[in-house]
Amino acid sequence: MLNKVVIFGVGLIGGSFARALKKAGAVREIVGVGRSAASMARALELGIIDAVGVTGEPSLAAALHGADLVLLAAPVAQTEAILAAIAPHLPAGAVVTDAGSTKSDVVAAARRALGGKVAQFVPGHPIAGRETNGPDAAIDHLYIGKKVVLTALAENSAADIERVAAAWRACGAIIHRLTPQEHDKVFAAVSHLPHLLAYALVDDIARKPHADLLFQYAASGFRDFTRIAGSSPEMWRDISLANQPALLTELDAYMAQLMLLRARLAAGDGAALERVYSNAQRARHQWITAIEAAEAPPSPDKAE
């Protein structure tokens, strides 16, 4: 049982973490901290949090007093500033984690902001999300059956890592472990690159002189392919820049693949095209089959 959890940013991610911990009876008190007084008031009204902390001193010291777990779920651009603000007031027994989509940059920011207290920071990334946001979007079952990747630091104690892992498990999540570098390489390939590609395609089409004609005939395949281009441009600008080295590597590999396919298409090499298409279809089918099995709730009583 956690005594006091402090959550920076009580929207979909932070608010759902709070709701899930409460539903599991895994926490005594949750304090929310955020820049929007209206959001904090709403989170309090909805019962997501028990108290509102304020960002300035000495209020932040009071909010953190007695905390055993701190989650950063505000926009990632604020991560370093929040860590710097809490560093002087962080109790020795508290563990800090985050929910950012990139990890190498967060680790670098944490080292700068926390200095000698960086051992208390266990970086994390819950692989869950929806297109909604704000306290009203928070639900108690967002993380059931979902992965949370922890990218622990060499300085972290096993007990601190376990405290973060146990909190996420109480929310129904499944814990995975990667290094920050592995994490960023993996997500550059399966998430960040597809976002860039989808944005690029829609922008490319939208800039053509006959864009209206083109959009008129775009159908369900185009809709699915470009769904992620409906995501927040600011958030994905930040993620692209934060994971720039790994994203460039994946983009270069993909452009090389496109050049190869272009040569095959130009040569009219149908057999070569079909090999690529078939391999992709087969791999995707295997993947879908595997995730449909793996993403089932871990046990029936934890399901919604």
Residues 24-63 that bind its own copies (CB under 8 A): none
Residue 252 sits in the site that holds its own copies (CB under 8 A): yes
Residue 259 sits in the site that holds its own copies (CB under 8 A): yes
Name residues contacting its own copies, limited to 92-111 (CB under 8 A): none
Q: What is the DSSP string of 3-50?
A: EEEEEE--SHHHHHHHHHHHHTT-EEEEEEE-S-HHHHHHHHHTTS-S
Least distance in Å: CB of 58 to its own copies?
35
**23 vs 237, which CB is nearer to its own copies?**
237
DSSP H or E stretch at residue 153: none
Stretch that binds its own copies, among 17-25, 101-109, 133-141, 193-201 (CB under 8 A): 193-201
Q: Which of 3, 132, 157, 257 binds its own copies (CB under 8 A)?
A: 257
Q: Which of 166, 241, 296, 303 binds its own copies (CB under 8 A)?
A: 241
Least distance in Å: CB of 229 to its own copies?
5
Q: Which of 207, 293, 300, 301 binds its own copies (CB under 8 A)?
A: 207
Residue 85 sits in the site that holds its own copies (CB under 8 A): no
Name residues contacting its own copies, limited to 141-180 (CB under 8 A): 147, 149, 176
Stretch that binds its own copies, among 40-48, 67-75, 100-108, 248-256 (CB under 8 A): 248-256
Number of residues that bind its own copies (CB under 8 A): 89
- Nearest CA to 198 among 235, 234, 224? 224
Name residues contacting its own copies, limited to 272-291 (CB under 8 A): 273-274, 276-281, 283-288, 290-291
Least distance in Å: CB of 289 to its own copies?
11
Q: How far apart are CA 40 and CA 139, in angstroms?
A: 16
Q: Which long-range contacts (CB under 8 A, 24 or more apart) does 240-246 make?
A: 240/192, 240/195, 240/196, 242/76, 242/100, 242/101, 242/102, 242/104, 242/105, 242/106, 243/102, 243/104, 243/105, 243/184, 243/187, 243/188, 243/192, 246/184, 246/185, 246/187, 246/188, 246/192
**Strand order in 2-8's β-sheet?**
51-53, 27-33, 2-8, 69-72, 95-98, 121-122
**3 vs 215, which CB is nearer to its own copies?**
215
**57 vs 215, which CB is nearer to its own copies?**
215
**84 vs 254, which CB is nearer to its own copies?**
254
Residue 76 sits in the site that holds its own copies (CB under 8 A): no
Strands 124-126 and 147-150: antiparallel
Residue 238 sits in the site that holds its own copies (CB under 8 A): yes
